[in-house]
Amino acid sequence: MPTIEPEVLEFAASICATEPDESEEIYRIYRSIFRERNYFRHPAGFLVVKISRSKKPFWGITKQIFDALNAHFNYHLVLLTKADQGWVFSKSQAVERIGSTWHLDSTGQQYKINSPLPDAHWFLGAKSFLRRIGTDA
């Protein structure tokens, strides 16, 4: 089974997000769609958590994953630069950006998300993140 990046685990723990339980039927469906372990459950909905360690941050997410997310889940896309900071986009905000500022790579398989990203989506710490997604800390 793929491992989870330590910063992603730290972030998930700080906001009380969890992976689906292996005993639940949804886990089988979840694993059939999502091979990586950077997808979490949270009371605010499904979270897709990516991390960039580059000096000029960038993230990638496949078209297939975006299509599955948009078809089946209410989600937030979390783009981390450290375990406690990054940007967060709701499903509707992510859909709005697909094709306008987030474009597919030359193969047509992966969306490339580059900084700078809007300050309105920036968070620093768990409380700031939870405010951004509209839940209490």
d(CA 104, CA 62): 9
Residue range(s) defining the domain that contains residue 123: 6-131
43-68: pLDDT as tens digits? 888 899 999 988 999 999 989 888 88
Helix residue ranges per DSSP H, the chain: 6-14, 25-33, 63-72, 91-97, 126-132
Entry field: residues in the chain: 137
Q: How confident is the model at residue 31 (pLDDT cuts 50, 70, 90)?
A: low
Lowest-confidence region among 19-33, 56-70, 106-120: 19-33
| pLDDT(92) > 70 | yes
Let me know if residue 1 belongs to a domain: no
- Residue 39 or 15, more confident: 15
Question: What is the sign, positive or negative, of the torsion defined by CA atoms of 63, 4, 91, 52?
Answer: negative
In total, how many domains does the chain have?
1
Burial (CB count <10 Å: 0-12, 13-18, 19+), residue 75: buried
Q: Could you tell me if residue 67 is inside a domain?
A: yes
* Residue 137, in any domain of the structure: no
Q: Percent of the chain scored above 70 by pLDDT? A: 88
63-82 pLDDT tens trace: 988 888 888 888 999 999 99
Greater model confidence, 13 or 99: 13
Enumerate the β-bridge partners of residue 79.
50, 87
The enclosing domain of 125 has a CATH number of 3.40.1350
Mean pLDDT of 26-37: 67
The strands making up 75-82's β-sheet, listed across from edge to edge, are 39-42, 45-51, 75-82, 85-90, 122-124
